[in-house]
Amino acid sequence: MGTSLPDKPNAILVISAHWLTRKGTYVAVTEKPETIYDFYGFPQAMYDVQYPSPGSPEYAQEVKKAITSTAVQEDNEWGLDHGAWTILKHAFPKADIPVFQMSIDYSKPAAYHFALANELQVLRKKGVLIIGSGNIVHNLRAADFHNISANPYPWAQEFDDISKKRIISGEFSDLINYEKLGQAALMSVPTPDHYYPMIYSLGLVNDQDEIRFTYEEIQNASVSMRCFEMK
């Protein structure tokens, strides 16, 4: 992704499954965001990683201007959680592009987040790369942690395939109302924290966009690593 972009982004906005708030939406105005290790039980090498990119208070203010349906509040402490830096360290290893995050108001439904993403489309025109970081299928209770290449559960494969087809056809409303898509959807999305970033990505799509899948795999039997981009 990092090498395929026609132009270097002016800034990167990450909407990650790992920054959830319950009293509104927040945008980080941190000038020097710290690398956050919001996990446990991993090898030491994961805790040794640093991603020292600058923040972007300037473009954080552009987010506040773009979103008019709700008041976006400022956060002066949030850094880069592992929904952000695990991607960015590979895509932009020099860490020379300003990065900031916007929280997910976990008290709101999927339709709210889709509409909020619509308002963020203006940032794309200002050279801001927006990344939704999560997993379409994310059921850790059912995961096979002993085998990353374990065969996917039928329900995980079914919902990943359904999502792909709906994304291609532009039937985003079905994915917003994912609870109505059957038992496979409910098993794949036991909680929507990792699902909502995809909803933000779909809300950013405009009529001129071509959606391209850049990676497809289900790991540990119940975690979809599907990736797609719009250009």
Q: For residue 40, what pLDDT is reported?
A: 87
CA separation for the pair 165, 160 (Å, rounded): 9
pLDDT of residue 134: 98
Q: What is the pLDDT along the chain (231 residues), one digit of tens a residue?
A: 899 898 999 999 999 999 999 999 999 999 999 999 999 888 999 999 999 999 999 999 999 999 999 999 999 999 999 999 999 999 999 999 999 999 999 999 999 999 999 999 999 999 999 999 999 999 999 999 999 999 999 999 999 999 999 999 999 999 999 999 999 999 999 999 999 999 999 999 999 999 999 999 999 999 999 999 998
C-alpha span between 184 and 180 (Å, rounded):
10
Instruction: Say whether pTM exceeds 0.85.
Output: yes
Task: Determine the Cα–Cα distance for residues 53 and 179; give it in Å rounded to an integer.
Answer: 38
In this prediction, residue 92 carries a pLDDT of 97
What is the per-residue pLDDT for 132? 98
By the 10 Å C-beta count (0-12 exposed, 13-18 middle, 19+ buried), 21 is classed as: middle
Predicted confidence at residue 65, as pLDDT, reads: 98
pLDDT score, position 231: 82
Q: How many residues does the structure list for the chain?
A: 231
Q: Which domains does the chain have, with CATH numbers?
A: 1-133 (3.40.830.10), 134-231 (3.40.830.10)
Map residue 82 onto helix, strand or coil.
helix
Instruction: Specify the pLDDT at position 42.
Output: 87
